[in-house]
Homo-oligomer: A and B are copies of this chain.
Amino acid sequence: MKILVIEDEPKVASFLKQGLEEQGYEVEVVFDGQMGKKYGTRNQYDLILLDIVIPYINGIELCKQIKDVKPTVPILILTALGTTEDKVAGFDSGADDYLVKPFEFKELLARIKVLTKRITNFTETSNKLKVMDLELDLDKKVAHRGDRTIELTAKEFALLEYFMRNKGRVLSRPDIAEKVWDITFDTGTNVVDVYVNILRKKIDRDFPHKLIHTRIGLGYMLNES
């Protein structure tokens, strides 16, 4: 997890850097708006912490400019300006959250967690499929859920990939049989059932949130709720 901190007060900056690094984040700090723009628009971060009163470019303006280039990166504004007008201006500029100094570090952490969690649900990185806390690594042919790594055989992988590419859609057995096994007519087999069962053991059994759902008479569906 990479975080960019744009903050001109050295004390606050180092306090943030140290505290966040203790939590396992990678932190880069820049001290003014120009540098902030350069780093924020060029590099990829999972989150940007932004002060409003900084040299060269005002934080509100900077927020807009960064969002113009990278609309999905979460920006949390962290400032001493605490009036409602300031806050509304901050949100209008595209910020995702707004926290007024002085603040407690624990609250900042909690808000950072929320922002980074929500993003990862939606960002489609090139070689991975994500649904909730389940990740399918298309290169390594391996799945991750929670902090567990799940090894998959070829068929299991093909089935899970099909499910994940069609999340939130009910997939009938004939559909699945065709896409995953190339079975185009009814052979009376129950491979699909068996493999769904195997997959469930691997990705759902040990977790409270079930991802694969049976729709009796219709098929199976993978989704969040």
Chain B residues, CB < 8 A from A141: 170, 215, 218, 221
- Does A140 lie within 8 Å of B225, measured CB to CB? no
Binding stretch for chain B, among A52-60, A152-160, A177-185: A152-160
Q: Mark A205-225, 1 if CB is under 8 A from B, else 0.
A: 000110000011110010011
Copies of this polypeptide in the complex = 2
**Contact call B153/A225, Cβ cutoff below 8 A:** no
CA distance A12 to B184 in the complex (A): 60
Q: When the two chains form their complex, are residues B157 and A225 in contact, meaning their CB atoms are under 8 A apart?
A: no
Closest beta carbon of chain B to A84's beta carbon, Å: 4
8 Å CB contact of A88 from B70, B97, B110, B170: B110
Cβ-based interface call for A124 (8 A): yes
Kindly identify which residue among B110, B121, B208 contacts A87, using a CB–CB cutoff of 8 Å: B110
CA A144 to CA B97, docked complex, whole Å? 28
Q: Interface size of A by Cβ–Cβ distance < 8 Å?
A: 45
A17-25, A111-119, A192-200 - interface stretch? A111-119
Complexed CA–CA distance, A114 and B88 (Å): 11
A10 within 8 A of B: no
Residue in chain B with minimal CB distance to A87: B107
Q: A69-B225, A154-B217 are in contact. Are A114 and B96 (CB under 8 A)?
A: yes
Q: Which residue of B lies closest to A89 (CB)?
A: B110
Residues of chain B with a CB closer than 8 A to A217's CB: 153-155
Of all chain B residues, the one with the shortest Cβ separation from A224 is B71
Q: Which residue of B has the minimal Cβ distance to A225?
A: B70
User: A69-B225, A118-B122 are contacts. A139–B170 as well, Cβ < 8 Å?
Assistant: yes
Q: Which residues of B contact A106 (CB under 8 A)?
A: 84, 87-88
Q: Do B114 and A139 touch (CB < 8 A)? A: no
Minimum distance in angstroms from A111 CB to a CB of chain B: 7
Does A68 lie at the interface of the complex (its beta carbon under 8 Å from any beta carbon of B)?
Answer: yes
- Per-residue contact bits, chain A 87-107, to B (CB 8 Å; 1 contact, 0 not): 110011001110000001011
* 14 residue pairs from A and B, CB less than 8 Å apart: A69-B225, A70-B225, A87-B107, A88-B106, A88-B110, A91-B113, A92-B110, A96-B114, A122-B122, A124-B168, A140-B221, A141-B221, A154-B216, A155-B217
